[in-house]
Structure formats: structure tokens, C-alpha cells
Amino acid sequence: MKQSKLLALLLFFSMGVQAQDDLLSLLGEEKPKKERVKYAFKSPRVINAHSMEFLNPGTMDFRILHRFGTLDQGYKNFFGLDQASMRMSFDFGLLHNLMVGVGRSTFKKEVDAFIKYAPIRQSKGPWSSPVTLAFVSGITVDGLPWADPTRQNYFSSRLAFYNQAILGRKFSEGFTLQLMPTMVHKNLVQAASDPNDIYALGVGGRLKLSKRMALTWDYTHVLVGMPETGFYNPLSIGLDIETGGHVFQLHVTNATGMNERAFITETTGQWGKGQVRFGFNLSRTFQLKKPKLD
């Protein structure tokens, strides 16, 4: 008899638990899930600098960066429109936190490539993170003819490398901010007194103005390795405009080059003297592989 009562009690208890689970599901209460915070930026780049954003897996971003001459020459070069430099690139999303890219610039005829990985991405829910932490490593190859072809030149002299960490947070739907400590190494420097390693700290941000427009900026301050004269810290201010599958960006900057080696170590324009350049970035994404559901 006692065994029968115990069995009936266990059966009643298990039915009660199952009924409670069914009731919670009917009420729409589900176990919280970890969810990544998306669209901190609308592009993997702020303007010049990498952003904390990543391409979706199986996505290619075809990007054209175009920059005119300096405005300080006035009508002589039609406020810079008579001159131009550009960079064309292809970036690929491999995983939600891993992407690679390759580009070619007219400035010094450089070819560059990079890999970007984020061990931590900002998220909500259980085991969430309030920030994104990403790392970028890149290489550039100078394609200009040798300054002195009569001497023995080495291919390694054309190479430069950079390593960067990105620590960023999307504070709200309208505001994102990130920090970018960076080290650039050049195998060959112009003068014996110039250091091969340059250390810098960058900051980038996005302020949403409307549903399809946002103000963006990035600035890099060279901490160690800046020559005493002739070079300055790069500052870029832009306006992002979303048009369907395109992100069109208008910007003003004092930098000519459009990869990390170029704009961090060889920016020659001064904002205070009007030595800034008007430019635009055009980004078009293509889905190369059917995306997997999260």
C-alpha cells in the first residue's frame, strides 16, 4: 500500500512539473538566450580605420575609396578635384568573428592584406559581454620602383606590418565608440634616425543622425615614432548614407593613404592650414554563400 501511495505521489509531482513547463511555454516565457549586439557600425571600416563590426559569414564587401587633392590650392587644382588617389578592396566574412581582406592603393602602388578576429563580441543575455574585443594583423607591400636601382635592393624592404587591438562598445542605437591601440613596423625607414616601430592610439565613433544617416569619425595619435617635422596625426570626419545594399560615405581628411601604414605614419596634411582632402567611400556587399541561422 505504501509503495502504491509513493508511486502515485511521484506521478502526480512529475505531471505537475510538466504542466508548469507547458504553462510557461503558453505564456511565451522561454529560457534567455545569448544574443550578439549588431550594427555598431554599418561597415567593417569607420573611415580609414577598422571598426569593431564584422561581415556575416559567406559575405563579400567590395569597397572603393576615393580621395581628391587638398583644398588649400583653391581654383588652381579646382579645390583638389583635379587630383585623386584611390584604394580598391575585397573583404570576406568567414565566421561571425573572423574576416580577411585584400586591397590595392594608387598611393605608393601598395598592395595590402589583413586578418581580423574577435575572441569577445558585445552581447546580451546569459554570459554576455559589454564590449567587443578584436585583433587585426596586416601587411603592406610598396610597389614603387626602387629609388636607387643600382644598389642591391631586397624585397623585404618593401614590406611593412601592423598589429592592432580594437576595444569598442555600442552604448545605444545611436552611439558607438571604440579605442584602437596600434603598432606599425616598417622594415625600411627613410632616415637612420627614424624608428622602425611606430606606436599609436586611435579612437573611432558613430553617431546616428537619422534612419539612414550617421556621423562617423576616426583619429589616430602617434605616441612613439613620429618624425619631428613634416608628418601629422590623421583625423577623418564622415557622413554615412545607407542606400539599400550600399553604404555611401562622404568624408574630409588630412590623410592621403588609405591603409594603416600609410595614414598612421605618412599623413602630411594639416587641418589648421586647410590641407584636407574631400573623398568618398563606396561599399557594396554580396552574399556568396547562403547564411546559416544563428
pTM for this model (two decimals): 0.85
- pLDDT tier at 84, thresholds 50, 70, 90: confident
C-alpha cell at 274: 586647410
Over residues 15-61, the pLDDT tens digits come to 444 444 444 454 555 667 888 998 999 899 999 999 999 999 999 99
Question: With pLDDT > 90 as the criterion, what percentage of the chain qualifies?
Answer: 64
C-alpha cell at 65: 575609396
CA 76 to chain centre: 35
- Enumerate the domain spans of the chain: 44-287
CATH of domain 44-287: 2.40.160.40
Helix, strand or coil, per DSSP, at residue 10: helix
Separation CA 149–CA 47 (nearest Å): 36
Separation CA 49–CA 47 (nearest Å): 6
Q: What is the pLDDT of residue 13?
A: 40
Q: What is the pLDDT of residue 86?
A: 92
**CA R_g for the chain:** 25
Half-sphere exposure of 181 (CA within 13 A, CB side): 4
